[in-house]
Amino acid sequence: MTQIPMDDLRQEFGSRLQENICMANYTTARVGGNAAGLVSIHTVEDLADAAKILWDLSVPFIVLGSGSNILVGDKGLDKIVLHNRAHNLKIDTKSDTPQVFAESGAILGTVARQSALRGLTGLEWAAPVPGTVGGAVYGNAGAHGSDMHESLKMAKILHKTRGIEEWPVEKLAYQYRSSVLKREKMPVVILTAVFNALKSTREDAWEKISVNQAYRKGTQPPGASMGSMFKNPVGDYAGRLIEASGLKGRRSGKAMISPIHANFIINLGGASAQDIWTLMKTAQDLVSEKFGILLEPEIELIGDFD
Ligand SMILES: Cc1cc2nc3c(=O)[nH]c(=O)nc-3n(C[C@H](O)[C@H](O)[C@H](O)COP(=O)(O)OP(=O)(O)OC[C@H]3O[C@@H](n4cnc5c(N)ncnc54)[C@H](O)[C@@H]3O)c2cc1C
């Protein structure tokens, strides 16, 4: 168990440090125990400074975007959470190669919609994806046949020992819902991102967004969740395999495998992280037994799980 030097942190962050914060209020699945502390971040300079302070003090921390891809354990986190709300956005439509710049706490869907409103095409896939730019860059978010690998030009990244670096997309070594940052748990903070976009018309881009949004509305369940729990195995779909294992509607406590889309687990109200984890293990076990395929989580488990 890590001992967090709370007195030092109180001195560094003053009233900005909130202590014993319930993570259920900061995650889209609405589950998770208490974090030792949380600091709200409003600019990228602030994000970099806070990370440097925590590294210097050897205090473990996570950067939190919208909490839409993490399952935080019920016992909470012996960590500080940097809640990233640095959300500036600059869209240049004047030059021949238009560019979309966003701070890492910007909401990805907003970046996509604002680009479309300015007549740029290329980011329409991202409009219905919840979460921040930072979370999307970290995990190679994707949907509707595209992903960050296609859309990202470069990211500005603060590395614990190397300082601020500009990473072209190739350096992130993207794989399906994964980056080198995620695979190697690198000590980094994503500060900003620049996306590729092409000139089009507002009508064209907006039409593509509407199609994506309508498709999603028709196929994905409402309610508190983390979206898809498992990665699709090569040539198949995790949802199809879980459904074929007879698990649609299966409950554990207050969590349920969605009867609409079996790769979603819904918090029916008051679910624990353990309820969700139990359903995930059940899905893994039954799918492995029936199909010989081990489903790999798409979401990230943070904290302790049995
Ligand atoms: C209803 C629903 C639908 C979804 N649909 C999709 C979909 O279609 N496609 C898809 O890919 N995902 C989907 N997701 C999952 C999720 O939206 C994405 O993975 C999203 O990119 C996560 O962003 P976030 O800001 O919520 O990240 P968080 O969950 O807050 O964080 C995820 C990880 O990224 C790290 N991180 C976040 N910001 C930074 C930063 N600035 N620097 C360093 N590390 C950082 C965190 O520390 C953590 O390890 C869906 C989720 C929900 C709830």
Boundary of a domain, candidates 58, 84, 110 = 84
Asked whether residue 229 is assigned to any structural domain, the reply reads no
pLDDT at 256: 98
Residue 79 sits in the same domain as residue 171: no
Instruction: Look at residue 94 in the predicted model and tell me its pLDDT.
Output: 86
271-283 pLDDT tens trace:
999 999 999 999 9
Q: Tens digit of pLDDT for each residue in 97-111?
A: 899 999 999 999 999
| Residues 252, 166 within the same domain | no
DSSP code of residue 232: P
- Count of beta carbons in the 10 Å neighbourhood of residue 125: 22
* Ligand 1 within 6 A of CB of 64: yes
Label residue 146 exposed, middle or buried (CB < 10 Å: 0-12, 13-18, 19+). Answer: middle
Contact 81, 19 (CB under 8 A): no
What CATH number is associated with residue 76? 3.30.43.10
Question: Is residue 231 domain-resident?
Answer: no
CATH of the domain at 122: 3.30.465.10
Non-local (6+) Cβ contacts of 190 within 8 A are: 63, 104, 133, 134, 137, 138, 155, 156, 157, 181
Phi, psi (rounded to 5 degrees) for 130: -70, 165
204 shares its domain with 291: no
Q: Answer yes or no: do 96 and 38 share one domain.
A: no
- The answer to whether residues 131 and 213 belong to one domain is yes
Q: Examine the domain organization and report whether 53 and 109 are in the same domain.
A: no
Residue 289 domain-assigned (yes or no): yes
- Ligand 1 in contact with 139 (CB < 6 A)? yes
- Helices vs strands, H then E, count in the chain: 9, 18
Q: Are residues 18 and 138 in the same domain?
A: no
Torsion (CA) 116, 118, 122, 124 in degrees, nearest 10: -10
What was the pLDDT predicted at 1? 60
Give 121-158 as a DSSP string: ES-GGGTT--SBHHHHHHHT-EETTEEHHHHEEEEEEE
170 within 8 A of 150, measured Cβ to Cβ: no
Closest alpha carbon to 102 in 86, 117, 118, 78: 86
Structure confidence at residue 97 (pLDDT): 87
Structure tokens at 48: 């970099």
Q: Which of 228, 245, 252, 258 is labelled catalytic?
A: 228
**Based on the domain organization, do 172 and 185 belong to the same domain?**
yes
Same domain for 96 and 80: no
Residue 225 lies in a domain: no
Q: Count of domains in the chain?
A: 3
Partnered with residue 80 across adjacent β-strands are 37, 61
* Beta carbon of 67 within 6 Å of any ligand 1 atom: yes
The verdict on residue 44 lying in a domain is: yes
CATH number of the CATH domain containing 242: 3.90.78.10
What are the residues whose beta carbons fall under 8 Å from the beta carbon of 296, sequence distance 6 or more? Answer: 230, 231, 233
162 is catalytic: no
Amino acid at 45: E
pLDDT-flagged residues of the chain (< 70): 1
228 counts as catalytic: yes
Question: Is residue 167 one of the residues assigned to a domain?
Answer: yes
- 136 and 46 in a common domain: no
Q: Which of 84, 110, 125 is the last residue of a domain?
A: 84
Q: How remote is the C-alpha of 95 from its chain's centroid?
A: 31
Q: Which of 23, 49, 84 is the last residue of a domain?
A: 84
136 and 23 inside one domain = no
Q: Please report whether residue 160 resides in a domain.
A: yes
Q: Which contiguous run of DSSP H or E holds residue 209?
A: helix 202-219
The boundaries of the domain holding residue 120 are: 89-219
pLDDT of residue 23: 98
Catalytic residue at 177? Answer: yes
Residues 104, 182 within the same domain: yes
Q: Cα(48) to centroid of ligand 1, in Å?
A: 20
Q: For residue 188, what is the enclosing H or E element? A: strand 188-196
Closest residue by Cα to residue 265 from 256, 277, 273, 274: 256
Q: Based on C-alpha coordinates, what's the Rg of the chain?
A: 20
- Whether residue 227 is contained in a domain is answered as no
Point out the catalytic residue in the list 12, 124, 243, 298: 298
- Residue 95's pLDDT is what? 84
